[in-house]
Amino acid sequence: SSRVGDEKVQGLYVAKLVRSFCRSSCDSEDEDIFEHIASILVNISKVEAGRRILMEPKRGLLKQIIGQFDSTNQLRKKGVAGTIRNCCFEADTQIQNLLSIAEYLWPALLLPVAGKKIYSEEDRSKMPPELANALSHEREAVDDSEIRERALEAIYMIVMQDDGRKAFWSVNGPRILQVGYEDEEDLKVMGAYELIGSLLVGKGEIEQDQEQGEDKPQ
């Protein structure tokens, strides 16, 4: 059918965009000529057909895009955060695809909302190395509140799924949000933290009354 043909063409176009986006190194002195692709990718991820292309496991485009989150370029960072968040709207059907790139996904979502504190050895011992290592030293805070909010919205959509929630616990995600929340000053972002907290409480997985919960055997 022509729809399949269209999708193939669109798929090639999106793949080429992602390649360009990921090719340029932001550390080069030259200006970043591909940074504008960040906002194009966000727009592509706003429509279901676009998300389908970005999330197709064989293409591996989302994983490549997430790799750009380490960029020092704020426009790129914001675009990556927005794209991940939009892709998470498919979490109900795509949770396994999302979790298959967990070692890239969790750092991109959790590190921006982890606050600046150095995490205790006990906390880090319950995390995979890609989180534990990053949280073992002082970090630059992610100043852009929109990035923090997008990350939390993505986490919320993932933990709404049973498998997503299990995966979140397995990387000690709730502890990271607890610590990050203490540093948060933006009311909107605080609301996004609280939404995830209330979801986890609603599932009966967190003691409602933290003070009381502290000294009970776990």
d(CA 157, CA 165): 10
Could you tell me what percent of the chain has a pLDDT over 90?
73
User: Is pLDDT of 207 > 60?
Assistant: no
26: tokens are 């932001």
- Which is higher by pLDDT, 8 or 78? 78
The per-residue pLDDT for range 59-72, each reduced to its tens digit, is 999 999 999 998 88
- Give the residue among 89, 11, 91, 82 at the shortest CA–CA distance from 43: 82
The predicted structure's pLDDT at residue 112: 96
Q: Per the structure block, which two tokens stand in for 11?
A: 């798929």
pLDDT tens-place string over residues 162-205: 999 999 999 999 999 999 999 999 999 999 999 999 999 887 77
User: What does the block give as tokens for 120?
Assistant: 């205790």
Q: What is the mean pLDDT of the chain?
A: 89
Token pair, residue 164, equals 């997503």
Stretch (H or E) spanning 134: none
pLDDT tens across 136-166, in order? 998 888 899 999 999 999 999 999 999 999 9
How far is 155 from 162, CA to CA, in rounded Å?
13
